[in-house]
Amino acid sequence: DKILSYPKKLKVGALLIKAIDEKDIQFYSTDEASRRQLDNLNWSGKVSDNSSGDYLQVVSTNLGGGKSDAYIERHIDHRADIKANGDIIVTTTLTKTNNAPASDTLGYLNNVDYVRFYVPQGSILLSAGGFRAPDSSLFSQIDPSFQTDQDLKAISGDSVIDDSSGTRISKEFGKTVFGHWMQVKPGSTSSAYITYRLPQRINLSDASGSLFINYWSTEYRDVDSYSLLLERQSGIKGMTYDASVVLDPSLTTVWHDALHPDRLEVNQRLVDYTGEMGSKDFFSILVAHQ
Backbone angles phi, psi at 7, to 5 degrees: -60, -30
Task: pLDDT tens for the chain, 290 residues: list them.
Answer: 887 788 888 888 898 888 888 888 888 899 999 999 988 888 888 888 777 899 999 999 998 889 999 999 999 999 999 999 999 999 999 999 999 999 999 999 999 999 999 999 999 999 999 999 999 888 888 899 999 899 888 887 888 999 999 999 999 989 999 999 999 999 999 999 999 999 999 988 654 555 555 555 555 567 889 999 999 998 888 899 999 999 999 999 988 999 999 999 998 899 999 999 888 899 999 998 88
Helix boundaries (H) for the chain: 2-5, 9-21, 32-40, 150-156, 210-216
Q: Are 248 and 82 in contact (CB under 8 A)?
A: yes
d(Cα 59, Cα 187) in Å, to the nearest integer? Answer: 22
Angle at CA of residue 274, ends 268 and 280, nearest 5°:
115
DSSP E strands in the chain: the ranges are: 54-62, 72-82, 88-98, 111-120, 124-129, 160-161, 168-172, 175-184, 189-197, 223-232, 239-247, 251-258, 264-266, 270-276, 280-289
d(Cα 94, Cα 194) in Å, to the nearest integer? Answer: 9
